[in-house]
Chain A
């Protein structure tokens, strides 16, 4: 039996969200033709982009003004109507996919799997539970497998060379039970938290919003995204969507620098997938040192300025050649 896969694309305005690329990588592991559904008020550019990607057979384009806000009430019926044609339906495990896919699943009477990190075979999937402190392997007995995909667990590769057909699909009327009335996006020229190669993250130890700027300035020089512990967010040092952890974002950058973060299990759930972890903390027994590749014990207000200054110097020198292997 061959798999046929439907990926629900997430868009950011009129461009493709990086989470969609990870979801496509996961879809390719299922080995079968992939159709992508893209919905929005003006999805044309995104649809063209998707059509050029390897492995994509068809791009289903749903265009209507009422699809602009990405409301689950409007999208779920649209997606649910296509489920029967596919063995697998995938969406990214972002706030977009988490909001949408369970609603689709219930409409078609299927138990879905959240936040998949490993696809073992066509019906066996691994996902983290208990804030990442355990992995659960599930075998899905449903006729159609509905999955949200953890973006940091799959590469964000853009594989070109595809030549998919574009197909407009019927979108129907708006459900008119819910409306988007306001959208406030955080304005930042920093790289996006989930896709940044480097994340510098701060905790309660900063003590004030002003001092948290030390971290933001370092991030600017490293071209890094800024993350925060829940304590730092609750104290108002950083906006909500900077929060890394079980209840915030899950990141897996090349380098994660945790400054003044003790490392509660809820925080570790969001960052232990990082390639290299650095911890700077004055408590030598802080749990963060248990996961850090490099730990430096000391006062952040002494260490951070020195680190920053030396980073600046390094950045002005050429990078040394790395030995192979």
Chain B
């Protein structure tokens, strides 16, 4: 079976982000970028499906500018067979990304689309569900376990209050939770080899997807900082403050 994994290039999760002073967005110049952590988990899962002989072709796809190639290089080094970059310059909105992914999934006749449950920059948690809707496929979101057998996907989902297991007919869309797996490190020789591999390019026009933004950013602002607190000397002082100052105990 053929698997499509979506990977997004985002500001590295360890970076303390800075809001631009004009409120137009977040500073990305000279900031460390890397693959969205949830997407790395989706990729690792797909590689494991390949190693188990279930996935016969693994296709990594990103939507972004030329710099986004680097996340595809890592995907190739990790075990992807092919890589496709859909060339866009503006930061695309989830519905646009979903339309692009759905178009590629159709064109490539894939059986499973694996994505991260959310990107750590926009925190939207939308693209997977939207892709499933546009394809008319079932969805297994926030997956912490995935088993493929007899043309079906069994997905354990992390939900509020516990876990729900669903069974999906293939083709399907699955989005990865942090608990799905522990992504492997990419070794240097694999990375070197991946550097020479071709990356296919597509455009939204060729895929027939209208990229007009549907939601307009008014501004990005810093959250109101919490007022600085105090350090207390001991438990007695802490309890006194909680009881007589804050009134919460």
Q: What is the CA–CA distance of A124 and B216 in the complex, to the nearest angstrom?
A: 9
Q: What is the CA–CA distance of A248 and B91 in the complex, to the nearest angstrom?
A: 26
Q: Is the CB of B234 within 8 A of A102?
A: no
Q: Which of B11, B157, B242 gathers the greatest number of chain A CB atoms within 10 Å?
A: B242
Interface size class on chain A is: 35 or more
Residue of A nearest to B23 (CB): A137
Q: Is B95's beta carbon under 8 Å from chain A?
A: yes
**Per-position binary interface string of chain B over residues 210-225, scored 1 when its CB falls under 8 Å from any chain A CB and 0 otherwise:** 0000111111111100
Q: What is the CA–CA distance of A320 and B164 in the complex, to the nearest angstrom?
A: 45
Q: What is the CA–CA distance of A102 and B125 in the complex, to the nearest angstrom?
A: 8
Q: Is B149's beta carbon under 8 Å from chain A?
A: no
Q: Which residues of B contact A175 (CB under 8 A)?
A: 138
Residue of B nearest to A76 (CB): B133
Q: Is the CB of B129 within 8 A of A130?
A: no
Residue of A nearest to B231 (CB): A295
Q: Which residues of A contact B216 (CB under 8 A)?
A: 138-141
Q: What is the CA–CA distance of A106 and B137 in the complex, to the nearest angstrom?
A: 12
Q: Which segment of B13-21, B65-73, B193-201 sits at the interface?
A: B13-21
Q: Is the CB of B235 within 8 A of A310?
A: yes
Main secondary structure of the interface of A (DSSP, over half): mixed
Q: Is the CB of A320 within 8 A of B139?
A: no
Q: Is the CB of A103 within 8 A of B133?
A: yes
Q: Is B248's beta carbon under 8 Å from chain A?
A: yes
Q: Is the CB of A141 within 8 A of B215?
A: yes
Q: Which residues of B contact A310 (CB under 8 A)?
A: 235-236, 239
Residue of A nearest to B122 (CB): A129
Q: Is B54's beta carbon under 8 Å from chain A?
A: no
Q: Is the CB of A295 within 8 A of B163?
A: no
Q: Which segment of B42-50, B80-88, B105-113, B165-173 sits at the interface?
A: B165-173
**Per-position binary interface string of chain B over residues 160-185, scored 1 when its CB falls under 8 Å from any chain A CB and 0 otherwise:** 11111111110010000111000000
Contacts A95-B142, A106-B95, A275-B248 hold; do A181 and B167 have CB atoms under 8 A apart?
Answer: yes
Q: Is the CB of B232 within 8 A of A295?
A: yes
Q: Is the CB of B231 within 8 A of A177?
A: no
Residue among B17, B124, B160, B241 making CB contact with A194, cutoff 8 Å: B160
Contacts A99-B141, A134-B220 hold; do A106 and B98 have CB atoms under 8 A apart?
Answer: yes
Smallest CB-CB A-B distances: 4 pairs: A106-B133, A102-B129, A106-B130, A111-B214
Known: A130-B121, A140-B214, A276-B248. 7 other contacts (CB 8 A): A96-B160, A128-B223, A134-B220, A222-B249, A255-B246, A296-B231, A311-B249
Question: Which B residues are closer than 8 A to A by beta carbons?
Answer: 11, 13, 16-17, 19, 26, 93-95, 98, 118, 120-134, 137-142, 144, 154, 157-169, 172, 177-179, 214-223, 226-232, 234-236, 238-239, 241-244, 246-249
Question: Which A residues are closer than 8 A to B by beta carbons?
Answer: 12, 69, 71-73, 76, 94-96, 98-107, 109-115, 124, 127-142, 175, 177-186, 192, 194, 198, 222, 230, 240-241, 246-247, 249, 254-255, 265-266, 272, 275-278, 284, 289-297, 303, 306-307, 310-311, 314, 319-320, 322
